[in-house]
């Protein structure tokens, strides 16, 4: 009784395509950590605008690359700036397209 030869089955999983290698996404680094900023300031409107979408929604952490510690402070700073009318709540607030009356 001997050992059987190795099987010639293809590897499990989807077939591999030839050509270019897979896309490797570079890990994003927190810009607050790089610039050694301890907290996001609600008065720094230009920096806060970078973390808003074109519809003035807060961007997700995975999209901006901000670490969780700074993302929490960033969210609070954006909310404070909105409350102080330094940043708009929505696209309608920025453009003033709301109609009052009939």
The closest alpha carbon to 55, from 84, 92, 85, belongs to: 92
- pLDDT at res. 92: 84
> Tokens 């290698």 identify what position?
21
Q: Domains (ranges, CATH) in the chain? A: 31-95 (4.10.640.10)
- pLDDT at res. 4: 65
- State the DSSP string of 9-60: PPPSSSPPPPSSPPP-PPPP--HHHHTT-SS--TT-HHHHHTTB-TTSPBPP
- pLDDT at res. 26: 78
- pLDDT at res. 102: 53
Per-residue pLDDT of the chain (102 residues; tens, 9 = 90+): 667 666 676 666 666 666 677 777 778 899 999 999 999 999 999 999 999 999 999 999 999 999 999 999 999 999 999 999 999 998 887 666 555 545
């Amino acid at each position: 009784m001997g050992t059987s030869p190795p099987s010639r089955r293809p590897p499990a999983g989807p077939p591999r395509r030839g050509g270019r290698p897979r896309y490797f996404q570079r890990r994003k680094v927190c810009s607050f950590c790089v610039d050694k900023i301890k907290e996001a300031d609600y008065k720094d409107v230009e920096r806060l605008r970078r973390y808003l979408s074109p519809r003035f929604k807060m961007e997700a952490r995975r999209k901006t690359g901000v670490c969780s510690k700074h993302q929490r402070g960033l969210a609070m700073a954006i909310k404070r700036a909105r409350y102080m009318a330094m940043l708009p709540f929505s696209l309608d607030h920025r453009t003033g397209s709301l109609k009052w009356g009939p």
